[in-house]
Structure 1
């Protein structure tokens, strides 16, 4: 009996220095990096759980004990223009369990590429701003890792195409951001010629369900400090529940609602260097673990514009 591991992707913040103020930026927030700035970011995250949802049933599992996953993320972010950014990231993931005989796995996970564009930026009066962003992304496994050993698999092994829309409203130093994204997943291959979902399938090809991720953020934003709270909801469009006392499978339904806090601080004396931290908790879900996690990272920005 193996509960499901739901990976939590880390998006590291990046610091833009082309304008008089500096701002964090990743593919899910409402900020942009400045033209000709390159951000080099790294971060560490950890999450664990000892209870999970088997369908709608919340339970524990003595054959697993406590499941934990850690990740080291590397990310590059470049501002082609003030309203057009590109991002590349690659995490190294390690998983383990505290009980039973199931060994954890580790290795590089999925290489991700994002393009972020801001087509709308309006200012109302002296303190109100409205911005709209469009994000396109693509991720693919960095190598042929095992996806058929849940929950300790380091990823799902699917090529994922992502589209995201973000709307941000800022009033003085306070802001609210809403976003929604759709994830289109390719089929994956497993190392056996037959498997059972809700019926017997005689193939090594697994059809992956697509998913949507919806998020709301609100908080306080200044040139050197950003503090925010967020809630995000992931919903799988398709899939099936873990059967009673059975192991999870890569194409299971995976729904979850998470809440968290995130903070970023940029050093006034060294504006190219920033610190980033976050913590989160899964409130409810389906075929996912009730995880608690944290993240800490650093970032450094270079201006790569050619001098005259």
Structure 2
């Protein structure tokens, strides 16, 4: 328990990957870090992020589109984390998204996107050599919260797709240095669009669209203490299916969307329970996504619900 208390001030939500043409994971969560909050501790806060791009990949062809100019996406995220036990946490994230194009006539979209609930379980924490090895199993369920339009890319705020996500994660910490690696599989349901036919590589007479599942690999390493975290992050997301954007066509929810991004994250915690986070990432390679730059920052507060209130004095 002492080790959990010493890490009490770790970031609740540290990492956010922007897949730019579509912010289909426009939320951030601790399923990518190796931090647990102790039993009956509660952490809540908000985070702001901005992603923007001018160049994107149309299939494997990198290009720009002067009818869009610069596409900007703003995200306002409310997040909470509760320690059911020292080994089991429950997390919730809710983003509000807005999009804007600097050129052309496409109208930006805005609204609440998808609510995400996550269970994070740490079955193993043991000494290995001079450090500590921790293993985690993490499951998330994503549910669209509003009836936003998915079939209006790149201006749409999400895929409007229910999904189940499972991540296996391993972390090794030696003194204040750490390395974390994880793999995630995302299983997505079909969506219904407001037209009776569409074109992929053939003409499809249906309003049902299969959204490709995806695999995500995340690696991070850096410095971690009770008051400061500084880390470098590398993440690759690969679709299991889908098709490329046709030449000079609009993107479509069923497209194959691959992205490789690199970034950094920082977090500082105060003795009061307040913690401030900041970070940035850049998409260095992709397929049917924008080459986006993402910057973000947030503030969180940790509450110890174990403390009993003092009796009032009459």
| TM-score normalised to structure 1 length | 0.92
SS of residue in 1 equivalent to 2:31: coil
1:288 aligned partner: 289
SS of residue in 2 equivalent to 1:27: helix
1:159 aligned to 2:172?
no
Q: Supply the distance in 2 between the matched residues of 1:179 and 1:41 (Cα, whole angstroms).
A: 25
Pairwise CA distance, 1:7:
4.3
1:202 aligned to 2:205?
yes
Q: Is the 2:228–2:268 contact (alpha carbons within 8 Å) kept by the matching residues of 1?
A: yes
How far does the alpha carbon of each residue in 1:54-92 deviate from its partner, in whole angstroms, 9 at most, with x for none? Answer: 000000001000000000000110000111000011000
Q: Supply the distance in 2 between the matched residues of 1:170 and 1:220 (Cα, whole angstroms).
A: 9
How far does the alpha carbon of each residue in 1:142-183 deviate from its partner, in whole angstroms, 9 at most, with x for none? Answer: 011100100010000110100000000111110000000000
How far does the alpha carbon of each residue in 1:186-206 deviate from its partner, in whole angstroms, 9 at most, with x for none? Answer: 000100111111111111110
Number of aligned pairs? Answer: 290
Pairwise CA distance, 1:36:
0.2
1:21 aligned partner: none
1:31 aligned to 2:48?
no
Pairwise CA distance, 1:302:
1.2
1:170 aligned to 2:147?
no
Pairwise CA distance, 1:211:
0.3
1:96 to 78, 100, 119: 100
2:186 aligned partner: 183
Q: Is the 1:10–1:45 contact (alpha carbons within 8 Å) kept by the matching residues of 2?
A: no
Q: For 1:18-57, what aligned pairs fall within 5 Å after superposition? A: 26-57=30-61
Q: Is the 1:50–1:65 contact (alpha carbons within 8 Å) kept by the matching residues of 2?
A: yes
Q: For 1:1-308, what aligned pairs fall within 5 Å after superposition? A: 4-7=21-24, 9-11=26-28, 26-124=30-128, 127-268=130-271, 270=272, 272-305=273-306, 307=308
| TM-score normalised to structure 2 length | 0.90
Q: Supply the distance in 2 between the matched residues of 1:167 and 1:160 (Cα, whole angstroms).
A: 23
Q: Supply the distance in 2 between the matched residues of 1:266 and 1:191 (Cα, whole angstroms).
A: 47
Q: Is the 1:112–1:137 contact (alpha carbons within 8 Å) kept by the matching residues of 2?
A: yes
Q: Supply the distance in 2 between the matched residues of 1:263 and 1:295 (Cα, whole angstroms).
A: 10
Q: Supply the distance in 1 between the matched residues of 2:169 and 2:210 (Cα, whole angstroms).
A: 29
Q: Is the 1:30–1:177 contact (alpha carbons within 8 Å) kept by the matching residues of 2?
A: yes
Q: Is the 2:121–2:138 contact (alpha carbons within 8 Å) kept by the matching residues of 1?
A: yes
**Aligned residues: CA RMSD:** 1.3
SS of residue in 2 equivalent to 1:229: strand
Q: Structure 1 stretches (4+) deviating beyond 4 angstroms?
A: none
Q: Supply the distance in 1 between the matched residues of 2:289 and 2:121 (Cα, whole angstroms).
A: 32
Pairwise CA distance, 1:303:
1.8
Structure 1: unaligned runs, 5 residues or longer: 13-25
